[in-house]
Structure 1
């Protein structure tokens, strides 16, 4: 096994218990594997992207607003313990923070990771509905009216973008994502 392959296997072993925590209806190991498959099936999965996928939702608390920062910090600490290079650690940290979806991706790798993270928006209507229900389950602590208001704001934020997907590899999901999002906003 290559050094990269060994690090990836260790990353999965380190991260998997986090993704198996109670309360993760969507942000779980299945989401990670779906992202990895989405990147691999498009021929763009690199070791750095795979590591970032494993680290991006490491910490997930639906009540917190700093999950990406905490995930990036926790995963960086783990990478340091594995003697990963400073350059790789810096790249992974930036990739994980890109999944906040607060600003346009700054690099192609960030764009690929963000698009893979958002691929569920362009999934089949049935898969999107299952995702939507899982998100509601993760936010079960939020009263219905507040949830609807907040969720509409998030979904409209994606709809208001000129393009949801910024890479050619994921551009084919755009029309279905807009259809899914429009329907979801209408049901809220």
Structure 2
């Protein structure tokens, strides 16, 4: 077994254990086995068209939720029920992902709306999870939406990586859109970067604002400059 395979297996084991713990905390019916739902979700997250939106991304978002969890209620103590809803939303937020489709978040939210009641999770929490999944369309939670702030910051945290980490992220995104001609991709990607840079704040939690805002903006600006730099003209 290669080191990459070992790492993937370890990640999957950790994700399965976390899914069981999260669904139990969410109030799943004790007599229902959550494992088949983990099977379906992990299979979806490992589909061959994915290069960035993979199980590694899911694991990273959940890890960042752990980092940010103390911020979920501002300066107040952590509210476990809020965190549970956010974690479930992380599981579903890219569960449906086709890079050539525009309704991924809506279909992912609809999947949560079907699956969670089957597990015995109540309607209020199911509705909150679906709302959070749909919020990842804009990554622009309303003021005071602590659940939305936690999920969106955890999802966007990849933007604040080191130069090497960010380059790997950008390359994976490009690979997912390998079917798009280079010129069209550059224009579309540049539009996305400008939209992000135009937000007053990329990160809404105190930790995200303090630790991730500046490096994320630097990474986004550098990528945008690379994408929009005029092609050098040959000398006459």
**Normalised TM-score (structure 1):** 0.93
CA deviation map 1:29-69 (0-9, x unaligned) = 10010010011123347211111100000000001111000
Matched, 1:139 2:177: yes
Residue 130 of structure 2 aligns to a residue in which SS? helix
Q: Which residue of the partner structure matches residue 110 of structure 1?
A: 148
Residue 149 of structure 1 aligns to a residue in which SS? helix
CA deviation map 1:137-188 (0-9, x unaligned) = 0001111000000000001111111111111121110110011001100111
Report the alpha carbon displacement of residue 80 of structure 1 after superposing the two structures with TM: 1.8
For the pair shown, the structure with the greater C-alpha radius of gyration is 2
Report the alpha carbon displacement of residue 13 of structure 1 after superposing the two structures with TM: 3.5
Matched, 1:180 2:233: no
Q: 4+ residue stretches of structure 1 with deviation over 6 A?
A: none
CA distance in 1, matches of 2:38, 2:203: 27
Query: Does the Cα contact within 8 Å between 1:95 and 1:113 map onto a contact in 2?
Result: yes
CA distance in 1, matches of 2:38, 2:90: 10
Query: Does the Cα contact within 8 Å between 2:92 and 2:108 map onto a contact in 1?
Result: yes
Gap runs ≥5 in structure 2: 1-19, 71-79, 228-236
Report the alpha carbon displacement of residue 84 of structure 1 after superposing the two structures with TM: 1.2
Matched positions, count? 187
Query: Does the Cα contact within 8 Å between 1:58 and 1:75 map onto a contact in 2?
Result: no
Deviates more, 1:165-174 or 1:11-20: 11-20
Query: Does the Cα contact within 8 Å between 1:12 and 1:54 map onto a contact in 2?
Result: no
Identify which of 160, 166, 188 aligns with 1:128: 166
Deviates more, 1:7-16 or 1:83-92: 7-16
Identify which of 138, 145, 149 aligns with 2:187: 149
**Normalised TM-score (structure 2):** 0.74
Gap runs ≥5 in structure 1: none
Q: Which residue of the partner structure matches residue 75 of structure 2?
A: none
Report the alpha carbon displacement of residue 6 of structure 1 after superposing the two structures with TM: 8.1
Query: Does the Cα contact within 8 Å between 2:96 and 2:105 map onto a contact in 1?
Result: yes
